[in-house]
């Protein structure tokens, strides 16, 4: 998706600088040409040799080469790039950029760049929350720079809070989405309403125990984000998960149980054009939910389970002409046959098959390997890819069917 794109990566001096290596690797893997400029302090965190090797280009950080006096032109770097990504962007560099200070090559390049600039801030939570940083970031946004929001989690200081640099995969995805939108100027799902359900459901046994599954919600969230980037109006019915979509354009309906998942999904279905059922809905739920904690005893504990409603089958019956219904099939054996059976039984228009036999596919991974089967028995097999890339493959297939 980034084939032939020229990305200039600016690395400033923070602990997250080590992740620059992963960013470069991902960019190069997608076919981008990468050049790196570092601040002098950044070299204390990761070596230019590492970044030069990965980017296959010399890394620069000085205004001139002390050996032969050769001038490193920040102007030509800024003109070369299709996009300038500064990751990590420390509080110090952000402050200098906001104030127009130009005391290193990364900053002079920033001031002279004509291309879009993306910053991935990374710092301690209190530095990020300081009014000076907040106003610097706001100022940079007002200049038209793009900010890739930092994550919340464990920080290098040992504290827990917002300030971790966004994960390299997320950064690369933002660049990819930005550049692909810019390239095509096209939003193939503009005006379409897309409903996605994702994540596991949780079926309570008593106030402290439940039955659930390993679904992380990642595949469904990637689909929601990709559909939103393509211009769709997206509703995401989301079971209990630890990750959330980054795009503010997605309407999230949080649910817990299979019954709630059904109610919310059915409610949103009648007005949608496309529904993608990525949720790992529990097939069984306890027949009886204990109001108080079940006490330990010497006897065996028996929990009687009753089947939940099949949401996909229910929507398959409700489906109107012009609506497209896609489901997933998670299989461990007889994959194609089982997936085709589900496609017909649930009246789906296409089914996305993942096999737990495939390494790197299924629950918890950032990657997936899918086979897409449509109702005319066309079968498209894909390689192991990141879930973001898989989401694009699925949406492309859907777009080809609705046109």
Report the interface residues with ligand CTP, using CB under 6 A.
258, 277, 279, 281, 283, 308, 310-312, 327-330, 342
Identity of the residue, 166 or 279, whose beta carbon is nearer to ligand CTP in the bound complex: 279
DSSP 8-state class, residue 58: -
d(CA 287, CA 308): 10
Judge contact between 294 and 241, C-beta under 8 A.
no
User: Least distance (Å) from ligand CTP to the CB of residue 198?
Assistant: 9
Q: How far is CA 64 from CA 11, 70, 105, 253, 255, in A?
A: 18, 5, 10, 55, 58
User: Least distance (Å) from ligand CTP to the CB of residue 394?
Assistant: 12
| 136 given a catalytic annotation | no
User: Least distance (Å) from ligand CTP to the CB of residue 341?
Assistant: 9
Identity of the residue, 245 or 327, whose beta carbon is nearer to ligand CTP in the bound complex: 327
DSSP output for 88-144: EE-HHHHHHHHHT---SHHHHHHHH--S-EEEEE---HHHHHSHHHHHHHHHHHHTT
Identity of the residue, 21 or 281, whose beta carbon is nearer to ligand CTP in the bound complex: 281
Residue partners of 62: CB distance under 8 A and separation at least 6: 40, 72, 105
User: Least distance (Å) from ligand CTP to the CB of residue 389?
Assistant: 20
Judge contact between 91 and 99, C-beta under 8 A.
no
The two three-digit tokens of residue 40, written as one number: 């002098």
Q: How far is CA 2 from CA 53, 117, 121, 177, 254, in A?
A: 19, 16, 22, 10, 34
User: Least distance (Å) from ligand CTP to the CB of residue 280?
Assistant: 7
Identity of the residue, 67 or 337, whose beta carbon is nearer to ligand CTP in the bound complex: 337
Q: Helix-strand-coil percent breakdown of the chain, rounded to 5?
A: 35, 25, 40
CB atoms within 10 A of CB 144: 8
User: Least distance (Å) from ligand CTP to the CB of residue 306?
Assistant: 12
Judge contact between 30 and 57, C-beta under 8 A.
no
What ranges make up the beta strands (E) of 188-249?
193-198, 203-204, 210-211, 233-238
Torsion of CA 122, 126, 132, 138, to 10 degrees: 50
Identity of the residue, 2 or 202, whose beta carbon is nearer to ligand CTP in the bound complex: 202
What ranges make up the beta strands (E) of 260-315?
274-277, 284-286, 305-307
User: Least distance (Å) from ligand CTP to the CB of residue 281?
Assistant: 4
d(CA 278, CA 332): 17
User: Least distance (Å) from ligand CTP to the CB of residue 353?
Assistant: 9
From the candidates 92, 213, 338, 347, give the one annotated as an active-site residue.
213
Query: Which residues participate in catalysis according to the annotation?
Result: 213
């Amino acid at each position: 998706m980034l084939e032939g794109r020229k990305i200039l990566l600016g690395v400033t001096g923070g602990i997250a600088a080590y992740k620059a290596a992963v960013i470069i690797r991902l960019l190069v893997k997608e076919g981008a040409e990468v050049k790196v400029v570092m601040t002098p302090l950044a070299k204390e965190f990761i070596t230019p040799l590492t970044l030069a090797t990965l980017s296959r280009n010399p890394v620069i950080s000085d205004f001139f080469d002390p050996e032969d006096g050769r001038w490193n032109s920040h102007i030509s770097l800024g003109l070369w790039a299709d996009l300038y990504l500064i990751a990590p962007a420390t509080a110090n560099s952000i402050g200098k950029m906001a104030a127009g200070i130009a005391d290193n090559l990364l900053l002079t390049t920033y001031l002279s760049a004509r291309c879009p600039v993306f910053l991935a801030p990374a710092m301690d939570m209190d530095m990020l929350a300081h009014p000076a940083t907040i106003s610097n970031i706001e100022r940079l946004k007002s200049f038209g720079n793009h900010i890739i929001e930092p994550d919340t989690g464990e920080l290098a200081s040992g504290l827990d809070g917002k300030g971790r640099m966004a994960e390299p995969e997320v950064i690369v995805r933002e660049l990819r989405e930005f550049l692909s939108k810019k390239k095509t100027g096209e939003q193939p799902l503009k005006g379409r309403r897309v409903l996605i359900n994702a994540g596991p459901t949780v079926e309570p046994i008593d106030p402290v125990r439940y039955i659930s599954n390993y679904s992380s919600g990642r595949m469904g969230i990637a689909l929601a984000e990709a559909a939103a980037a393509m211009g769709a109006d997206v509703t995401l019915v989301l079971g209990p998960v630890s990750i959330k979509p980054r795009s503010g354009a997605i309407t999230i309906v949080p649910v817990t149980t299979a019954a709630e998942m059904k109610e919310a999904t059915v409610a949103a279905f009648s007005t949608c054009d496309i529904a993608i059922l990525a949720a790992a809905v529990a097939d069984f739920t306890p027949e009886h939910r204990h109001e108080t904690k079940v006490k330990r005893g010497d006897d065996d504990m028996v929990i009687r389970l009753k089947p939940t409603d099949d949401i996909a089958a229910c929507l398959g019956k409700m489906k109107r002409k012009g609506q497209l219904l896609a489901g997933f099939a998670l299989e461990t054996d007889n994959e194609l046959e089982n997936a085709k059976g589900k496609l017909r039984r649930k009246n789906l228009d296409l089914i996305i098959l993942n096999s737990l036999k495939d390494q790197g596919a299924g629950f918890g991974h950032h990657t997936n390997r899918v086979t897409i089967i449509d109702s005319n028995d066309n079968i498209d097999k894909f390689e192991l890819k990141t879930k973001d890339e898989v989401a694009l493959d699925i949406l492309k297939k859907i777009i080809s069917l609705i046109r």
